[in-house]
Amino acid sequence: MNKEIKVVVVDDNEAVLSSVKKYFNNSELINIVGTFNNGKVALDYLINNSSEYDLAILDILLPQIDGIKILQEMKNNNINKKTMILSSFKDDYTIRRLQSYGVSYYMLKPIDLDILNGRILDLFDEAEKVKYSNDSTIEIEVSSMLHNLGIPSHVKGYKYIREGIMLLYSSEDSMHLITKEIYPEIALKFNTTSSRVERAIRHAIEISWIRGDLKLMENIFGNSIDFERSRPTNSEFLTTIADRLKLKNRQFVW
């Protein structure tokens, strides 16, 4: 692992924040880029500075806005960062809610900082394994899903959609940047233009909505779009499938 992991820690206990900062002060792999003891202030930072950190470590009980509300708002704002929970509060209902927000680890206080260090490194080491070792498996799964959705492999939009989903699957920051980042990357790879990529994807989705498995569509898109409309937008189609794959392959450990 060569990339430095940038971490934000949110906890109302100043002693916890101080001990975490001191422990990681000389780490070459983990950099504590921000600490907050107030939920609202932390949320403002997490939403407005998503490019400045890789992991958010949250307590549940915080002043003004609690940890669960922070997770909700990050999801609502398409902030797709890795998250961990450090808390003395635990019950089955809370853990199930945290799972639904994609929390990777739940650790009970008092925390062992050596174990925390290991959990962070494991989390990002696993992410690299998923990105570099399992891409072929994910691509097969994407191809199978597109086939079941009724998109013929010979239409141009098929390969553009598959590439777009793979890019979104391996990215933490591009879920809301389809037009500015994903289309240009696809266009560059296939020697075409972003506008042609957009049109081809739209055409392929229209074919899917005519030929595809209705039950599968309802299962995948039913909670993500207004099903009374003729079809999802390009962004909804790509991000919904990519997010579904991420959730399927994510593990929750505590």
Residue 254 has what pLDDT?
47
Residue 19 has what pLDDT?
94
Q: DSSP of 140-173, one letter per residue?
A: HHHHHHHHHTT--TTSHHHHHHHHHHHHHHT-SS
Fold of 5-132: Rossmann fold (3.40.50)
Residue 250 has what pLDDT?
56
CA distance 198 to 201: 5
CA distance 129 to 146: 24
Largest Cα span, the chain: 60
Residue 82 has what pLDDT?
92
Decide if 5-132 and 135-249 have a common fold. no
CA distance 43 to 159: 38
Q: Domain boundaries in the chain?
A: 5-132, 135-249
What is the separation, in whole angstroms, between the first and last Cα of the chain? 23
Q: DSSP of 210-252, one letter per residue?
A: HHS-HHHHHHHHTTTS-TTSSS--HHHHHHHHHHHHHHHH---
Backbone φ, ψ for residue 15 (5° rounding): -65, -40
Kindly report the number of other CB atoms within 10 A of residue 217's CB atom.
19
| The CATH classification of domain 135-249, taken from the options 1.20.1290.10, 1.10.10.10, 3.30.450.40, 2.40.30.10 | 1.10.10.10
Q: Which residues of the chain have pLDDT under 70?
A: 1-2, 92, 126-137, 171-177, 222-230, 248-254
User: Exposed, middle or buried by CB within 10 Å (0-12, 13-18, 19+), for 185?
Assistant: middle
User: pLDDT of 7-19, one tens digit each?
Assistant: 999 999 999 999 9
Residue 132 has what pLDDT?
44
Between strands 105-108 and 82-87, the pairing is parallel
* Residue bearing tokens 């990339």: 3
Residue 159 has what pLDDT?
92
Contact 39, 87 (CB under 8 A): no
Which residues lie below 8 Å from residue 116, measured CB to CB, with a gap of 6+?
20, 86, 107
Residue 70 has what pLDDT?
96
CA distance 220 to 209: 13
Residue 249 has what pLDDT?
64
Q: In Å, how far are 105, 130, 146, 238 from 156, measured between CA atoms?
A: 40, 27, 13, 15
Structure tokens given for 27: 């780490």
- 3 state SS of 209: helix
